[in-house]
Structure 1
Amino acid sequence: MSVRILALVGSLRAGSYNRQLAETAAKLAPEGATVDIYEDLGELPFYNEDIDTEAGAPASAVRLREAADAADALLLITPEYNGTMPAALKNAIDWLSRPFGAGAIRGKSVAVIGTALGQYGGVWAHDDVRRSAGVAGGTVVEDVKLSIPGSANRFAETHPAADAEVSEQLGEVLGALVEHAGRN
């Protein structure tokens, strides 16, 4: 069985540590699974029902929805901005939640991970993303958690892929997400 995982990265910064986690996830995908990193979250306009009509939605929103439709699971990777998730990731979840009750996230297995500067690794943001994705219709894998603290120090000299502990934990996350997607 092949499992396609769509990774959405909450940080838009090209060199972000969360982006590096997504790159590591793509390299560590279990056999039979792929992790595709969605590149265009920054192009999405803020969700607005006035531009999301039966006649159509913005092309960037259509592309995101199509990517999510084609995926079996979502891996949401986020830092913590001011105690919560970045607006770019919340906006993507909003677009994926529509149309209400039939959005592209509906029924998809969802795991939330990330890294942040603080001592808790962004757990508040991760909890908010889990809640938002669940309300939007995703099937959140609640027991899959990876919050890596001290990102600026931990990854200052090394890519997360070179960190054996992170790679092992990320491999476990991906394995659990693939397993959940296979049952879902």
Structure 2
Amino acid sequence: MATRKIAVIVGSLRKESFSRKVAKTMMLLAPSQLEMEIIEIGNLPLYNQDDDDNPPPVYTEFRSTIKKYDGVLWVTPEYNRSVPGVLKNAIDVGSRPYGQSAWSGKPCGVVSVSPGAIAAFGANHHLRQSLVFLNMPAMQQPEAYVGNVGNQFDGDTLNNESTKKFLQGFVDAFATWVERHAD
């Protein structure tokens, strides 16, 4: 298998974000053919279509960065049964101007994370709705909902072997998915 560059997009800005901890864990578990890097989204100003003719440099840099990757791993918490605003903003910035989406055709996977029992199911599926429009083939199985995440870490280290085994299986399946769908 070829080495594939994967953009990891974390939907939480919180310093001790469980989503970021899960993303970093998955990066450590990833097979060697995946070269994964977290792409920061917190510095993106709110998308405004009026800026399409003269975009802020940070928009142009973000779009160019995303275009360099072979796939995307989304790791997100749930806010009000949806994705956080910062994540939706990154999606919108990367998808514009119309017809020039940086996301188009990139295979992706979705992991949702929550300290609650339903594991951000709503955010996971709401994000998938956007991915269809963005023309991003999203891995269907295994689905990844990490619930009760609040008690699964000692600092940044995942201490739940069952969750670690599940994430290993997910990232291994994701590597196969990316290889099958990457250009």
* TM-score in same-fold range (> 0.5): yes
Give the structure 2 partner of residue 81 of structure 1: 79
In structure 2, how many angstroms separate the alpha carbons of the residues matched to 1:35 and 1:77?
Answer: 13
Match of 1:177 among 171, 174, 178: 174
How far apart are residue 151 of structure 1 and its match? 2.2
**Aligned pair count?**
180
SS in 2 for 1:43: coil
The Cα of 1:66 is off from its aligned counterpart by 1.9
Structure 2, unmatched stretches of 5+, are none
CA contact (8 A) 1:3 1:72 kept: yes
Q: Deviation of residue 165 (structure 1)?
A: 1.9
| Aligned-partner SS, 1:142 | coil
Between the aligned partners of 2:85 and 2:127, the Cα distance in structure 1 is 11
Say what the alpha-carbon RMSD is for the aligned residues: 1.6
Match of 2:15 in 1: 14
CA distance in 2, matches of 1:24, 1:152: 15
Partner of 2:138: helix, strand, or coil? Answer: strand
CA deviation after TM superposition for structure 1 residue 144, in Å? 3.4
User: 8 Å contact 1:21–1:114 — kept in the other structure?
Assistant: no
User: Structure 2 matches for 1:146-157, cutoff 5 A?
Assistant: 146-155=144-153, 157=154
Is residue 92 of structure 2 the alignment partner of residue 100 of structure 1?
no
**1:44 and 2:41 are equivalent in the alignment:** no
CA gap 1:174/1:91 in 2 versus in 1, 3 angstroms:
same
CA displacement 1:133-156 (0-9 Å, x = unmatched): 22122111122321111222333x
Deviation (angstroms), 1:102: 3.0
Shift of 1:158: 5.4
1:28-71 alpha-carbon deviations (Å, 9 max, x no partner)? 120121110112x1111111111122xx4222222221221111
Q: SS at the partner of 1:44?
A: coil
Could you say if the C-alpha distance between residues 50 and 116 of structure 1 is closer, same or farther in structure 2, counting changes exceeding 3 Å? same
For normalisation by structure 1, the TM-score amounts to 0.90
Unaligned runs of 5+ in 1: none
Post-superposition Cα deviations, 1:72-102, rounded to whole Å, max 9, x if no partner, equal 1100000011111100111111112223233
Query: 1:121 is matched with which residue: 119, 122, 126?
Result: 119
The 4+ residue runs of structure 1 with deviation greater than 4 A are none
Alignment of 1:91 with 2:89, yes or no, is yes
Letter in 1 for 2:131: A
Match of 1:163 among 153, 160, 164: 160
Q: Could you tell me which residue of structure 2 aligns to residue 34 of structure 1?
A: 35
